[in-house]
Structure 1
């Protein structure tokens, strides 16, 4: 089986590429990434085909998709704050980019397209847990682009009979997630700060809740979806209904890092969702054997990776 990954040099994409190259039923993995948020070093040791370029380039997409059986579309410009600062860039990368991927999948003979949406589409809808039939209420341009992503997948399924599967990702974390940029996610940013004996920044009062999902679990679901060719035009939550506040996350990091976490509070950020928790019923129907990584184990693995990556980057 031959798989193409857009955004395959990023955090999730490189973890997925690694998982697929280690699977006996996957014979080829190709990656396209413009390296705007991904890093070639993430995949440097993998036996894959890599094309540096943007998904807006139809010719490059045709090159990467040629002969493939399926594509996992992960290329995106992430971050709610980034989208608030530059809505047009987020729209072009995420919404128009998805349209380019779907057109290329059609030209390639109707590839199976699995794509990443986001729990941010639920936005201001206060109901918990979040099930996929809830009314969406995006609070940021980023969330709108992800709603457009999954809507385009559904439309291409119904209009062109394209086999699709849109996943709503919920706060994915784990090894490979970098903390050295302005839009870093909370877990690597807080772990990195703690390891450096620096205070963590808590936006708002810290009672916001999240449904964190370990990247290895996500990769297992994506791999299973590819191998069994799961087709579902409706969005599917890829999370397991766990819920922890950001303040309650701090002791988990302290235990794993064996270091006290100092914190400083800043005003809440525009567009941030207060509470997030998935209803995983649809996911468990489609993937009945999947078992999530416990948060405690996932935090330990992430701390170990970040500690090793900092040591490895230090001058000798």
Structure 2
């Protein structure tokens, strides 16, 4: 697989330590990223409160944590401020992952995305402020770069959003900036670049490309690539995202109120990834091709120097290693 790669350092999150009585709230904790965050925190021995309404998260993602005395589940909706207040009570760190994803789906349902991603996130920030939360870390997205053509993508050089989803994430960042400036709530936005890994849903029309391709190839189905396959992405393994969240919880207040690229600082072409999956799974299936999807960004490649300098972030897994681990997980689960 031909790849356009940058450097990465091996630091990870294993060395990140908090007070033993620290309490974390993970919103969207039954989702792909949220459940992996819950698992990592529980393995480190911390108390974890999970908030989810199962609109996109799955109960089976958190079932393994049910017997852990450090795990508490709250079924609730971030659109309800009272629920957010209750969830934030006594919490030190909020890791806000709850949102509706998918660029194409947001184009179909812009009002729902505004309601969940903007108002819901504002509810969470307000609840965190009122309840005295120490750090508020929230999921943003590389989609905020919109039509800005230059590579690598660099904070402070954003274009116009290309989808309602991207616009909701940009609004989240502006609220994060204001809550840090006006209310002294330390907020840290994490612009995730194409996160993949275990627990990611391979099903549905809007499923992420890597798990969807893996499942289809394992079932001897012909995957469809939307576009010509020459689009490139800075795919980011889930453990890098976990590390970024925990590093942000320890970041100084001087780093608050800003949003940071969270990626590998590299990019790979989609067609190359497809054939790499074929080789890894022992399949000889040519892909189909469909029209480009509205709102998609053609190329994605992150400059991670700001996150490295301000948060101490450095990706522990490059794309090839993360992909191998992901394939192994789906082979066992599917």
Matched, 1:37 2:61: no
Q: After the TM superposition, which residues 103-252 of structure 1 pair with which residues of structure 2 at under 5 Å, given as runs?
A: 103-227=126-250, 231-252=255-276
SS of 2:87's equivalent? helix
Q: Greater RCO between the two (CA within 8 Å, min separation 6)?
A: 2
Q: 1:286 aligns with which of 310, 323, 326?
A: 310
Alignment gaps of 5+ in structure 2: 1-21
Q: Is the 8 A contact 1:257 1:300 kept in 2?
A: no
C-alpha spacing 1:228/1:141, structure 2 compared with 1 (3 Å): closer
Q: CA RMSD in A?
A: 1.4
Deviations 1:211-266 (A, max 9, x none): 00000111122123224566421110001221111111112212322222430000
* Distance in structure 2 (CA, Å) of the matches to 1:275 and 1:264: 20
* Distance in structure 2 (CA, Å) of the matches to 1:118 and 1:273: 12
Deviation of 1:308 after TM superposition, in Å, equals 1.8
Deviations 1:252-293 (A, max 9, x none): 212322222430000111111111100111011134463331
Counterpart of 2:44 in structure 1 is: 23
Q: Is the 8 A contact 1:112 1:229 kept in 2?
A: no
Q: Is the 8 A contact 1:175 1:302 kept in 2?
A: yes
Counterpart of 1:313 in structure 2 is: none
* Distance in structure 2 (CA, Å) of the matches to 1:204 and 1:240: 24
Q: Is the 8 A contact 2:26 2:34 kept in 1?
A: yes
Counterpart of 2:321 in structure 1 is: 297
* Distance in structure 1 (CA, Å) of the matches to 2:132 and 2:245: 21
* Distance in structure 2 (CA, Å) of the matches to 1:279 and 1:96: 30
The TM-score, its normalising length taken from structure 2, stands at 0.89
Deviation of 1:111 after TM superposition, in Å, equals 3.6
SS of 1:45's equivalent? helix
Alignment gaps of 5+ in structure 1: 311-316
Where has structure 1 moved over 3 Å in runs of 4 or more? 227-231
* Distance in structure 1 (CA, Å) of the matches to 2:285 and 2:37: 31
